[in-house]
């Protein structure tokens, strides 16, 4: 065995032993930083509408994460079933948000979210029913996703909630 070959084996052995340790450190750092998709407790002085909104988000998050993870595992390739499931979860979320009694200051922002979600759901439903629609209407896709994000952020802000940091793969 040559010294060069021995150094290569030693380096491979060191990498095999150290990488799991370093990966573990990265995982611990992620845990310490907090999972941005984990349920968020309401602030101590939260209104009943804030508590109800967080409950609506929490009840939908597992469905959103399942869809997001599947889309990621598929290399961001979308199938009709992904879009149909997104519609189902979003319609359940929309129903939960509509059931919340927001105060007069916040209600217009809840209405904006309602409008943005309806437009998004309609777009995704159409894309699920018509192969090729999504790729042919990328500008509209960007628009309904942006309007949804902006309306959601505005409502969270009005409810004195921090921005949602959960990143999802959506149709």
| 15 compared with 78, residue with greater pLDDT | 78
Structural domain contains residue 163: no
With a pLDDT cut of 70, the percent of the chain lying above it is 81
Find the domain containing 24 and state its range.
Answer: 1-34
State whether 11 and 58 are in the same domain: no
pLDDT at 4 over 80: no
User: What is the value of pTM for the model shown?
Assistant: 0.78
State whether 58 and 96 are in the same domain: yes
CB 87 within 8 A of CB 121: yes
State whether 54 and 109 are in the same domain: yes
- Total number of domains in the chain: 2
State whether 11 and 87 are in the same domain: no
> From CA 137, how far away is CA 153, in angstroms rounded?
24
- Residue 90: CB partners within 8 Å, gap ≥ 6? 60, 117, 120, 121, 124
Which tens digit of pLDDT belongs to each residue from 96-135? 999 999 999 999 999 999 999 999 999 999 999 999 999 9
State whether 74 and 148 are in the same domain: yes
């Amino acid at each position: 065995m040559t010294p060069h070959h021995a150094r290569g084996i030693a380096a491979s052995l060191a990498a095999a032993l150290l990488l799991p340790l370093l990966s573990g450190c990265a995982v611990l750092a992620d845990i310490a930083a907090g999972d941005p998709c984990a349920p968020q407790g309401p602030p101590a002085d939260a209104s009943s509408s804030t508590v109800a909104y967080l409950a609506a988000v929490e009840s939908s998050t597992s469905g959103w994460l399942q869809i997001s993870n599947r889309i990621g595992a598929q290399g961001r390739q979308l199938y009709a079933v992904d879009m149909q499931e997104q519609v189902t979860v979003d319609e359940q979320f929309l129903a939960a948000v509509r059931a919340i009694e927001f105060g007069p200051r916040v209600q217009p922002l809840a209405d904006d979210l309602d409008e943005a979600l309806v437009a998004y759901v309609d777009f995704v439903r159409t894309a699920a029913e018509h192969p090729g629609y999504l790729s042919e209407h990328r500008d509209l896709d960007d628009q309904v996703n942006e309007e949804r994000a902006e309306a959601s952020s505005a409502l969270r802000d009005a409810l004195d909630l921090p921005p949602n940091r959960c990143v999802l793969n959506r149709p």
